[in-house]
Structure formats: structure tokens, C-alpha cells
């Protein structure tokens, strides 16, 4: 049985666009054929990061995945490691960040994996690209669609800047 996997990507070190492209190429290889969707890339100010952290490039992708959320989470951690992700301090600058936001209608609350992602409805840098590809998506535990969550968002985050160009 396949599930809709919704994943947020971010990079604020080095060749940010290249890191996103490399992560997407590896994730796309996990997708069932014909199910891949990706948002535009957005440049965003760092949120709750150490002073002096560079801006992020963020995007959201989705696809049907044949397997479990735990299996996909292990795959995303492997991609992060392959692309040089170091986990030093919380919210430190990073080459790539891959967060599993949702996995079908599953609810998972484990120490290393929470689905839906517990803060996705509070983050413009997640909601805006997600609304671009799934505006009507309703996630378990949320009473509004993604587009309505974005409209109702009260966040100190600055507006996002959509990046020109293609992936």
C-alpha cells in the first residue's frame, strides 16, 4: 500500500540550490512513477537559528511512497548524511534539512519521528510552498486545509521570496 509522503527541504550552507536538487533527485527515485510534485524554491530568513545564520532556500515535495513512514524517515536521514548534514547544535546552519511533514493520514508520535510534523502549521516557510502543491490537503489533527492554515497564520516570519529559475 502506498501513502502520500509530504516532505520539506531546506538548505542554508554552500550551494543551496544544488543541495536541494541533489536531495530531490534521491527522493524522486523513491517515488512511485507519476506521483512526484514539487513546489517552487523560496528564500527565507532563518527562524530560531543562531545569530548570523544565512538565509535558507526552502521547498516542499510530495509523492506516493510504497513502504512505511519509518522506512522513508531512514531514507531521508541517509540522504542528509550523504549530502554532508552535520547535527551539531539545534537549528545550526546546514547543507540540507529534510523533514517528513506528513505520511498519508498516519499519526506517529515517537521520539525521533512525529507525523504530522508538530510545527508545520506554524511555519510560513513550510505552509506557503505546501499550499502551492496541495492547497486543499487536510492533515490529521488539523481542522483546516493547508491554504486556510496559511491564510490564518499569525507569524513573525517575514514574507517569503520565490526564487526565479527552474530546479
Q: What is the set of active-site residues?
A: 85, 94, 97, 99
Residue 129 exposure: Cα atoms within 13 Å on the Cβ side? 28
Alpha-carbon distance of 155 to 94, in angstroms, equals 23
Residue with C-alpha cell 513512514? 69
Q: Which residues contact 114 (CB under 8 A, 6 or more apart)?
A: 108
Longest CA–CA span in the chain (Å) reads 44
- List, in order, residues 6 or more apart from 88 with CB less than 8 Å away: none
The count of other CB atoms within 10 Å of the CB of residue 12 is 23
Distance CA 97, CA 10 (A): 5
Instruction: Take residue 24 and report the three cell numbers written for it.
Output: 530531490
Amino acid at each position: 500500500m502506498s501513502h502520500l509522503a509530504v516532505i520539506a527541504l531546506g538548505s542554508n550552507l554552500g550551494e543551496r540550490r544544488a543541495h536541494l536538487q541533489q536531495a530531490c533527485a534521491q527522493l524522486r527515485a523513491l517515488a512511485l512513477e507519476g506521483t512526484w510534485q514539487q513546489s517552487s524554491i523560496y528564500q527565507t530568513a532563518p527562524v530560531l537559528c543562531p545569530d548570523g545564520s544565512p538565509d535558507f532556500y526552502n521547498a516542499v515535495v510530495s509523492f506516493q511512497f510504497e513502504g512505511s513512514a519509518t522506512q522513508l524517515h531512514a531514507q531521508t536521514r541517509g540522504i542528509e548524511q550523504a549530502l554532508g548534514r552535520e547535527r551539531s547544535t539545534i537549528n545550526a546552519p546546514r547543507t540540507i534539512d529534510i523533514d517528513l511533514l506528513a505520511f498519508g493520514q498516519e499519526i506517529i508520535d515517537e521520539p525521533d519521528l512525529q507525523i504530522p510534523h508538530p510545527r508545520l502549521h506554524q511555519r510560513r516557510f513550510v505552509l506557503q510552498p505546501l499550499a502551492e502543491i496541495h492547497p486543499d490537503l487536510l492533515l490529521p489533527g488539523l481542522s483546516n486545509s493547508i491554504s486556510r492554515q496559511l491564510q490564518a497564520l499569525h507569524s513573525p516570519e517575514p514574507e517569503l521570496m520565490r526564487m526565479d529559475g527552474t530546479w
